[in-house]
Amino acid sequence: MRDYLGGRLGSADQPVIPLAPVLAGTLREAEARLCRLAAAWRTLPPGWLCLHPFRWGVRYALRWQGAAGLEAAGRRLTDFAILQAFTAELPDRAIHELVADYETLLARLPAGAERGEFRLWEAFFREREHILRRGDERWPASRNLLQLAVEHADDSPVSRAAEAWLSAGHCHWVWLRNPQRVAGVMPPDPCLQVLEGHANGVHGALVLADGRILSWSGDNTLRLWDGSSGAPLAILGEHTNEVNGALALADGRLLSWSADDNLHLRDGRSGVTTAILAGHTHWVAGARELADGRLLS
């Protein structure tokens, strides 16, 4: 076991072989083959074999094909047939990985017309990720994608790609087309990401010192989100009515107040309630931390 952990392989009658270069070479060869498989996705049989190249093909192209990888990744991310297959075959959680592929490639493209057009593709998927993740067995994400794409904008590259796919006769389901869409090119929305999960109106949010985001809602909960990716981290329950507000205390704890007539002191990392401040006989409208550490509600 020490030889494996130390990166060397051998025995009494065999020479000791450095393990790391062998593994690195094998890994590189395997990923290069997967990159080629991703390019030939239409020839792959259904099942698990095509899922991995679908999911990681862009990253393999960028990693192993140098300058040609930029072009290969760009072709893959603007091929509407691939995007239909991707959103039809892979689970909803893969949508976030697809959006990350657009962001990665956009960051590596040089300035110019090609980058400007690809930015519209990246913005389209980033702004609509929360809708694409709503696909189900009856109406998968691929059908949501088609509906969103054809309605994007008159001169949108996404709309043009979707219409070319439709003209080729690939659509085999009935759908309703909205004849109205934005004239010209749809500019990228300043919205970076939609954080979806609350089941009622969101009453407020704040950014914590460590970069996480805390939100509260009429669904009786607070939620913690990753400040960089927008990924949900935790649902903070225990209130029995809508949450009216929250703040971060100087010592890192969280304080929330609610229409259930109570305030909750919470652990700053987990958000778990450590104390319930009772006594109000009607809903709590606000609270503050005083300079001496006392709380006013």
Strand order in the sheet with 263-266: 243-248, 254-258, 263-266, 273-277
pTM score, whole prediction: 0.68
Per-residue model confidence as pLDDT tens digits over 45-66: 766 666 777 788 888 888 876 7
Domain map (residue ranges) of the chain: 2-167, 202-296
Q: Please, where are the H alpha helices in 109-218?
A: 113-132, 141-150, 157-167
CATH of 202-296, picked from 3.20.20.70, 2.60.40.2220, 3.30.70.20, 2.40.10.480, is 2.40.10.480
Amino acid at the residue 44: L
Q: Is the pLDDT of residue 24 over 70?
A: no
Strand partners, 204: 216
pLDDT value for 240: 95
Is-contact 220 234, C-beta < 8 A? no
**Closest alpha carbon to 152 in 115, 180, 110, 122:** 180
Per-residue model confidence as pLDDT tens digits over 249-297: 999 999 999 999 999 999 999 999 999 999 999 999 999 999 999 999 9
